[in-house]
Structure 1
Amino acid sequence: MLESGRQRLFTVDFSLTCAASFLSWTVNNLLLATLPIYVLALGGKDNHLGYVVAAYNLSLFVSRPLAGKWSERLGPALLLRVGAGMLFVSIFAYLLVGDPWWAIAVRAAHGVGMGIYTTSATTIASYAAPANRRGEALGIFSTALALTLAIGPALGMLIVDAYSYQTLFVVIWLMTTASALMAYRVDRGGRYGQAGGRTGKLFNTDALLPSLVGFAVYFSYGGLSSYLPVYALERGLANPGLFFTAYAVGAISIRIVGGKLSDAFGRSRVIIPAIVLMGFSLLVLSAAADAWSVVTAGWLFGLGSGVLYPTLMALAVDRSSPQERGSAMATLLGTLELGITFGAIFGSLVVARAPLPVIWLASSFLAFLGLLLYVYQSARERRVGLT
């Protein structure tokens, strides 16, 4: 039962948005460990792996500002349905992939659909949440996404090992269909972010600080998405998906509590230790000598990300007006994806010239630079009375 005086959190729209997003992200994470190996099986080279990740995340980055702009003009629910339709088509195209470059093209189309879909879903979640429970609500929403990381990569490998890649592609298309049907039912009354003559923003400067911090910290995820499966196999981890399972276990175990903590004690008291933990986990990964060390690094990275991600979302919403939440979410998420894209491209450049641990060391360094930026800018804003 809800506590007296607390507004209801699990509305129909919030629950449907969480469930539909859970399915769409499960699809994405079923491909996380399997797609790089599939590209190699199609005759791809090591550098193709970075291109696959970069194509996806660059498409996300390009589509998010447009999604945020049109979300403020037309409402996020309509954009959610558009994104669901694009995913329905692009996921089916995986069944037709026959060479590495076709895989890159399909992955790019998938990224456009996900950019529109996830920006709209996150915006709806922020509207549906009571203001004094926003951190908690976004923690729950992102926990649903983290849960997909717990099951997706390892399950994807199991499906491929037991059946085939074609079976995997059929499974993800059926899941996408179910997600699209749920998305169609969200906000049928058009309550959230209704158009009111606004032109909408492509970029929201109010969300700049959390966006830049997110860019620096999640740069590492580009390298992880591209080269962690290969690195894990080299370190004796037979199922590379277990790294992402450990990541998700860490994220899920702390995410909801972390959202509540940022509501109660302030965003900075959560953001700072979270970045420290993520940077440290990358150092552990760079020094990993066996499978256990790889899994431990994944768990530590998940603990940090589990509270950082929803807290950055809450901070972006805090700093923007209610009418501009769509562009705030698009700016934050798009900049995170840009960081992941650059991380993947960086990994492609490094892998031909240096050992893989160099990727994790450089990513850790950049994460700590992001921490310094946040501490400096927060202190500056306090001095001038902005926070």
Structure 2
Amino acid sequence: MSEEFRLWSKDFVLICLANFFYFGSFYFLIPTLPQYVDMIGGSPGQVGLVMGLFTLASVIVRPYLGNMADRHGRKILMLLGSGFFILFPVIYNQVQSFVPLYLARIAHGLAHASFLAASIAYVADMAPPQRRGEVMGVYATSNVVAMALFPALGTAVIEDTGSFPYLFTLSALTAAAGFLAVALLGEIRSQAGRDIKQAGIWEVGRRREVLIPSLALFSGATSYGAVITFLPLFAPQRGLADFGLFFTVYAVSTILSRVMVGKLSDRIGRRKVILPFMAVLALAVFLFPFLGSLWLLALIGVLFGLGFGAFMPALNALVVDYTSPSDRGSALGFFTAFMDVGITTGAMILGLVGGRLGYPAMFNLGGAIILAGIFVFAVYMKPAERSASR
């Protein structure tokens, strides 16, 4: 990739817009789909199944779809993923029984995997090696901005109108905007691996340079899943009904860290960014048991956003540094799947700990898992990183 890359270039702006609208459609449904399941007579267990099947399907197939993006190009996989995202809100609007809804959620998860595996590889292809951390960090902010806006918007739509058909229509239209942005993109490489022998998916995943960053991501994502899921229950126990402050501060600090620290990792190296900011994330999680005031909640939100916002794009760039372009989709599909696995583990496994031993014990265990991730990364990831030349 030429050194003349600009953040305001047409294709980079378009891929950021595509990601923003794509995740906008996704986040419209995160807080509202459980309400829809409840409205059509679903039990709490069925709510969990409807939400979990999406993630399970996405995680299982993402490395394979990343491999397809390596072989057939990024754009076609992004078009498939974002195109089907237009369809599924329309399907939800017609579904009134659970077996079709389960099947729709599985298929929706497959579409999600297709877009994610291809889009992150597209950005990695686009980024000049010496600016990879900066570019991937800026790109990642489009997701965070969508997360800050669309869940609240979806909730407001249901509170104001009570109309799920209207909500599903908005979600489909938002996905259509993302599809249009993808359609206007240029394909960076017409083929990724036709003339180069590609490694198998699991061969790529077992490489230390892919597996160790994936485990580090898993350790942070586990605590993320627990915090996002259980803070709304824990904060009121400590007399803090206005816990929305955490999510606002978290979103702002995440955006700042992704923009600033990604560039820093290009200058001083990924390892020198990843380890300190994982420690910042662990500190934030360890502070939750002491929660008792809004100022401490805001401080934890700042630390949590700085830590998570910084170390994930740096890990992402590190995987790309060590991976050949012909295997990039497979590697990133494998790596990003650990984010969803970690979130699910945090919500389910740490949630069981919180239910039995209390939320302070849950948060302490979450912090300990991050420390374990720091140890594994520090010991098993080579201190001398490969020169960013791919």
Q: Same fold (TM over 0.5)?
A: yes
| Partner of residue 175, structure 1 | 174
CA distance 1:20–1:52, change in 2 (3 Å)? same
Deviation per CA, 1:308-353: give whole Å up to 9, x if none.
1110110000111122111121111012222222223314534653
| Partner of residue 326, structure 2 | 323
| Contiguous gaps of at least 5 residues in structure 2 | none
Picking from 248, 266, 283, the partner of 1:280 is 283
1:247 aligns with 2:250: yes
| Partner of residue 202, structure 1 | 201
Picking from 146, 152, 171, the partner of 1:148 is 146
CA distance 1:320–1:128, change in 2 (3 Å)? same
* Stretch moving more, 183-192 or 22-31: 183-192
Report matched runs for 1:206-225 at 5 Å: 206-225=209-228
| Partner of residue 372, structure 2 | 369
1:257 aligns with 2:260: yes
CA distance 1:71–1:371, change in 2 (3 Å)? same
Deviation of 1:287 after TM superposition, in Å, equals: 3.5
Deviation per CA, 1:348-380: give whole Å up to 9, x if none.
5346534344433322211111011111113xx
User: 2 CA distance for matches of 1:106 and 1:231?
Assistant: 33
User: 2 CA distance for matches of 1:52 and 1:140?
Assistant: 32
| Partner of residue 87, structure 1 | 85
| Partner of residue 332, structure 1 | 335
| Residues paired across the two proteins, number | 380
User: 2 CA distance for matches of 1:98 and 1:284?
Assistant: 44
Report matched runs for 1:45-56 at 5 Å: 51-56=49-54
| Partner of residue 71, structure 1 | 69
User: 2 CA distance for matches of 1:234 and 1:165?
Assistant: 32
User: 2 CA distance for matches of 1:272 and 1:360?
Assistant: 20
Picking from 95, 111, 114, the partner of 2:112 is 114
User: 2 CA distance for matches of 1:103 and 1:233?
Assistant: 33
Deviation of 1:285 after TM superposition, in Å, equals: 2.8
| Contact map agreement 1:77 1:190 (CA 8 A) in 2 | no
| One-letter amino acid of the counterpart of residue 202, structure 1 | I
CA distance 1:52–1:13, change in 2 (3 Å)? same
Deviation of 1:11 after TM superposition, in Å, equals: 2.9
User: 1 CA distance for matches of 2:299 and 2:254?
Assistant: 13
Picking from 13, 16, 33, the partner of 2:14 is 16
CA distance 1:171–1:364, change in 2 (3 Å)? same
| Contact map agreement 1:69 1:326 (CA 8 A) in 2 | yes
User: 1 CA distance for matches of 2:163 and 2:102?
Assistant: 16
Deviation per CA, 1:31-88: give whole Å up to 9, x if none.
3444455555666565666545533322221121111110111111111111112222
| Contact map agreement 1:73 1:196 (CA 8 A) in 2 | no
| One-letter amino acid of the counterpart of residue 175, structure 2 | T
| Contact map agreement 1:64 1:119 (CA 8 A) in 2 | yes
User: 2 CA distance for matches of 1:238 and 1:159?
Assistant: 22
- Secondary structure in structure 2 of the residue aligned to 1:196: coil
CA distance 1:163–1:59, change in 2 (3 Å)? same
User: 2 CA distance for matches of 1:97 and 1:81?
Assistant: 25
CA distance 1:243–1:111, change in 2 (3 Å)? farther
User: 1 CA distance for matches of 2:137 and 2:365?
Assistant: 29
Report matched runs for 1:344-383 at 5 Å: 344-347=347-350, 349-350=352-353, 352-378=355-381, 381-382=382-383
| Partner of residue 187, structure 1 | 186
| Contact map agreement 1:54 1:345 (CA 8 A) in 2 | no
| Partner of residue 304, structure 1 | 307
1:129 aligns with 2:132: no
Deviation per CA, 1:13-37: give whole Å up to 9, x if none.
2221111011111222333444455
| One-letter amino acid of the counterpart of residue 213, structure 1 | A
| One-letter amino acid of the counterpart of residue 263, structure 1 | D
| One-letter amino acid of the counterpart of residue 82, structure 1 | L
* Stretch moving more, 213-222 or 336-345: 336-345
| One-letter amino acid of the counterpart of residue 164, structure 1 | G
RMSD: 3.0
Picking from 341, 344, 355, the partner of 2:344 is 341
User: 2 CA distance for matches of 1:191 and 1:116?
Assistant: 18
1:58 aligns with 2:61: no
User: 1 CA distance for matches of 2:103 and 2:344?
Assistant: 15
